Structure 1
Amino acid sequence: MDFTEVQAAFEQIWGYPDFRPPQGEIVRTLLAQRDALIVMPTGGGKSICFQLPALLQTGLTLVVSPLVALMENQVQELRQKKLPAALLHGELPPFERRRTLQAIEEQKLRLLYLSPETLLSPPVWQRLSHPDIQIQGLILDEAHCLVQWGDTFRPTYRRLGSVRPSLLHSKPAGTKIAIAAFTATADPQAQQTIRQTLQLDNPEQFLLNPYRPNLHLSVKIAWTPKGRKQQLLNFIQAHPQQSGLVYVRTRPDSETLAQWLAAQSLKTAAYHAGLDPDARRQIEQAWLKDRLQFVVCTSAFGMGINKPDVRWVIHFHAPLLLSEYVQEVGRAGRDGKPAEALTLISEPTGWLDGEDKQRRAFFVDRMRSQLDKAQALAHKLPPTGEINPIKKQFKDSELCLSLLHSRGQLTWIDPFHYQILTHSQATKLPDTNNQAIQHMTQYLHERHCRWQFLLKNFGFASQKTSSPCGQCDNCTRR
């Protein structure tokens, strides 16, 4: 297809006269059915990069996405444009699920959004594996979910590297399925993990600098729990009528903090993955339409929800991983106008408020416990086996198997069958999680330019900001 036709289709569907760099190059790559790794900051227009090639080609493109809210928002927009897209997830009513499965069999769809768990569920996998179902592409959205063991980790992502070879095994000879992995944050180590786990074939790489010259970064010490709440309240009251987000790390924290802020006559609500789907949609819409000034949320909020005029993001609790931090602050100032990202932290000793230290220690202890469980389970499991019976027999076995895979001690023969490697076969992989936690701690106590620290950490050390950058607390103090 001539690229002028591609641009014409782009303008006809989305109304834009031309692509934003590097959208055009990514579209060309996917139309050529080449593998790709795309690291594009939040708000960079990544969904268009895979939606347009899927709509212009025959066959089905599978979009694996971690959050129901993200899938629903994108599919709703595509359906409003009368485009052949659908989604599958565990919360769908049975009649809608049957209708989508039938549309797959009749090959009426170009885009199918689904979670990794739904993709690998027997009824869906059997249909997609049928020789007559033409699949031309596999998109991994939010690919950082397979890398680090933070709040966003999904064990099933570790099995996705065997999806393409298994699908090709069931398709006619000569079939080609390209894979494109998209994420807003991935440092060089994470990029390597994504390439290896997904078995990307000489992928084209599009790595965009995360620097946002309109986004001011700051970190402030809160000396006591009461003082932390007061600093939050002072900030919000100093920014009346401005749309924002307050991030916490647990569901109970989101609810108790939202209740306290609502009692101060502020328009807000708590949002977390434990809410039912209707409640989540209502909160999202109320925030998007400015009926709520801000949302007190966990990491479950924000992916795929586009609100350009977010003026501030506050981390009431700092995330444990730098990648999560960059994801979350990137939701502010997408319209290019000035925006603020404030993180509140306990004083360094933890004597007056030990909550931050306790939270970090809990996370590290949980990781260590999971690794110990995985190693113990490895001695109980058969050297080769099928995951579904194993999941029924051993508690937390899917997480343990994924952990063994991440440590180079296990391989997936196909998405359902594993092989535990002998000591001589195993490849010792670095423990990136402890490194990631240390980088986040270093960032919070950084005394020089925060943007320079982030750029260096994400592999953009050569692309320096002006110094001082003027867009972080450390540089503005100087």
Structure 2
Amino acid sequence: MVGFRHCSAVRPLTQPIFHDTLIIMNDVAFDCNQVRTRFKEIWGYDDFRPPQGEIIDTLLKSKDALIVMPTGGGKSICFQLPALLKTGLTLVVSPLVALMENQVQELQQRQLPAALLHNEIPRPQRKQTLQALEKQNLRLLYLSPETLLSPPIWEKLSHPQLKINGIILDEAHCLVTWGSTFRPAYRRLGTIRPTLLQYKPPNTKIAIAAFTATADPDAQRIITEVLQLDSPETFINSPYRNNLNLKVKITLSPGCRRHQLLQFIKTQKKQSGLVYVRSRRDSEQLSEWLRSLNYSTAAYHAGLSSQERRYIETQWLQGHLQFVVCTSAFGMGINKADVRWVVHFQAPQLLSDYLQEVGRGGRDGKPTEALTLMSEPTGWLDPTDNQQWQFFTSKLSKQYQQAEKIAKQIPSQGNINAIAQEFPEGEISLALLHSKGQLEWLDPFHYQLLKKSSSLTQSQNTPLQTHSQIKRYLTTKRCRWQFLLNGFGFTQEATGFKCGHCDNCQ
């Protein structure tokens, strides 16, 4: 893996953005002034923010890349502009329907050749998109990992005459946080490029770029290894945002937790915000209680229909809802600049999820409050957090046990669809085996076992460590931003760092 380019030291905007006057990509020259002109025509900006220019330069040259930029840093433009400048198709692999729909809607409103595929779109729209794909009229096609690997779509993407320039993995941290235990299709993405190239003309080049707002050094390594990135150009931006004021408060009972939330919301007057919970049930119950107190809010989670989710998003974006009580399904790609507060009614399991979610606030650069509520350490008076952790670890343990059983029963080589049909959790089990180095993917649909393990359950350190990391963050007496900088690999920047605006610094 290449050395990380920490972009806190990227050249200022007053200096040239691109390395060369011309960017050569597949024998096509891109004049840098033309690139900027097209950028201004589409988005209306005069020039790029660092490190947007360098990233666009990299993607136009069809190089692999890993990009970690804070939320609100303009990541989508970095891959959308190169895709629109090239001939051929760029695939954007995205985790959530809401995220895909928001980005594609913005592009289509600008009359740009972009579309999306997921299992909720109407049949006529799907047919129209597939026709545009076959005619090579698209430059950007958004789809989930599961849709990408579905046989009908894979067959069309594998057609020798369909030119594919690149694959973008948006919100790439999902590969790490969801890939082994929730969205196992992520673990097969590394086989997409080599398998597609077998169907394409000789000398075809398909670049891969992974974008995320949160990835510590371990996550960066996993993303690079799973995607099989080839000597990637790596851009790593500090997660620090000086307008986010981080606070943690202890709750002594479930009733106290609700009281703390209510008192905080009252201090925010009518300003826009978000309340994060960890389950659909909590989202529904908490929003119902707050509505009974005459707050304009709604529950948002993955169990809602596409139409219901779009309606709530629109109501919130337009200010008809002051805040949304949501699970992690809300937020990625939804761009609202004036979110003045974010409350974690319950803390997430992972530090990366926490940073993602507080990052929904303050995109306009103005001061924003981020409050997290946590049970008192013993859990005797408020067992909420301990119960969530026990549920998490119990579920994880069962998944590892199931993977162990399946590893002993399946052939050394096989087809994932056959395993999924025979075992209810078969696909997740294969993903877990892959994450532990006991299985490799021969292509997106076929596996090969590498070795038999004595016990997978002995390898649960990573999830346990990541949860203890969020616990340490919540209970630290040090500067909270210093803790986050250390946690995401910015140890040099963290040395002696004090933000001056978290609860511990104050």
- Residue 307 of structure 1 corresponds to 336
**3-state SS, counterpart of residue 48 of structure 2:** coil
Aligned mate of 2:489, from 428, 449, 459 = 459
1:436 lines up with 2:458 in the alignment: no
Calculate the aligned-residue CA RMSD, in Å: 1.7
Distance (whole Å) between structure 2 residues aligned to residue 334 and residue 473 of structure 1: 21
Give how far 1:115 is off: 0.5
Q: Which amino acid aligns with 2:379?
A: G
Q: How does 1:47-66 map to 2 (within 5 A)?
A: 47-66=76-95
- Residue 366 of structure 1 corresponds to 395
Q: Which amino acid aligns with 1:169?
A: Q
1:157 lines up with 2:180 in the alignment: no
- Residue 469 of structure 1 corresponds to 499
- Residue 446 of structure 1 corresponds to 476
Give how far 1:437 is off: 0.8
Give how far 1:464 is off: 3.4
Q: How does 1:59-78 map to 2 (within 5 A)?
A: 59-78=88-107
Distance (whole Å) between structure 2 residues aligned to residue 292 and residue 130 of structure 1: 46
Give how far 1:465 is off: 8.0
Aligned mate of 1:277, from 306, 320, 334 = 306
The percentage of aligned residue pairs carrying the same residue is: 63
Give how far 1:319 is off: 0.2
Aligned mate of 2:210, from 165, 181, 188 = 181
Task: Check the 8 A contact 2:40/2:47 in 1, yes or no.
Answer: yes
Aligned mate of 2:170, from 134, 141, 144 = 141
Q: How does 1:58-457 map to 2 (within 5 A)?
A: 58-149=87-178, 153-423=182-452, 431-457=461-487
Give how far 1:298 is off: 0.2
Distance (whole Å) between structure 2 residues aligned to residue 143 and residue 467 of structure 1: 28
How many residues align? The count is: 475
Distance (whole Å) between structure 1 residues aligned to residue 421 and residue 146 of structure 2: 16
Distance (whole Å) between structure 2 residues aligned to residue 398 and residue 339 of structure 1: 41
Q: Which amino acid aligns with 2:336?
A: K
Give how far 1:466 is off: 7.1
**3-state SS, counterpart of residue 473 of structure 1:** coil
Moved over 3 A (4+): 149-153, 426-431, 464-468
Give how far 1:354 is off: 0.8
- Residue 12 of structure 2 corresponds to none
Structure 1 residues 137 and 301: alpha-carbon distance in aligned structure 2, compared to 1, 3 A threshold = same
Structure 1 residues 152 and 475: alpha-carbon distance in aligned structure 2, compared to 1, 3 A threshold = farther
Distance (whole Å) between structure 2 residues aligned to residue 149 and residue 70 of structure 1: 16
**3-state SS, counterpart of residue 235 of structure 2:** strand
**3-state SS, counterpart of residue 145 of structure 1:** helix
Q: Which amino acid aligns with 1:205?
A: T
**3-state SS, counterpart of residue 296 of structure 1:** strand
Deviations 1:99-120 (A, max 9, x none): 1111111000000000110000
Give how far 1:423 is off: 4.2
Deviations 1:431-467 (A, max 9, x none): 4222211111100111111100000010111113874
Instruction: Give the structure-2-normalised TM-score.
Output: 0.92
Give how far 1:352 is off: 0.5
- Residue 40 of structure 2 corresponds to 11
Larger displacement relative to structure 2 (431-440 or 298-307)? 431-440
Distance (whole Å) between structure 1 residues aligned to residue 492 and residue 91 of structure 2: 36
Deviations 1:129-187 (A, max 9, x none): 00000000000001111113599952110000000000001100000000000111000
Distance (whole Å) between structure 1 residues aligned to residue 413 and residue 187 of structure 2: 17
Aligned mate of 1:42, from 60, 63, 71 = 71
Q: Which amino acid aligns with 1:438?
A: S
Distance (whole Å) between structure 2 residues aligned to residue 467 and residue 390 of structure 1: 51
Structure 1 residues 394 and 388: alpha-carbon distance in aligned structure 2, compared to 1, 3 A threshold = same
Instruction: Give the structure-1-normalised TM-score.
Output: 0.97
Q: Which amino acid aligns with 2:364?
A: D
Larger displacement relative to structure 2 (278-287 or 462-471)? 462-471
**3-state SS, counterpart of residue 366 of structure 1:** helix
Distance (whole Å) between structure 2 residues aligned to residue 12 and residue 148 of structure 1: 37
Q: Which amino acid aligns with 2:404?
A: Q
Structure 1 residues 289 and 86: alpha-carbon distance in aligned structure 2, compared to 1, 3 A threshold = same
Distance (whole Å) between structure 2 residues aligned to residue 429 and residue 438 of structure 1: 16
Task: Check the 8 A contact 2:179/2:431 in 1, yes or no.
Answer: no
Deviations 1:76-100 (A, max 9, x none): 1111111000000000111111111
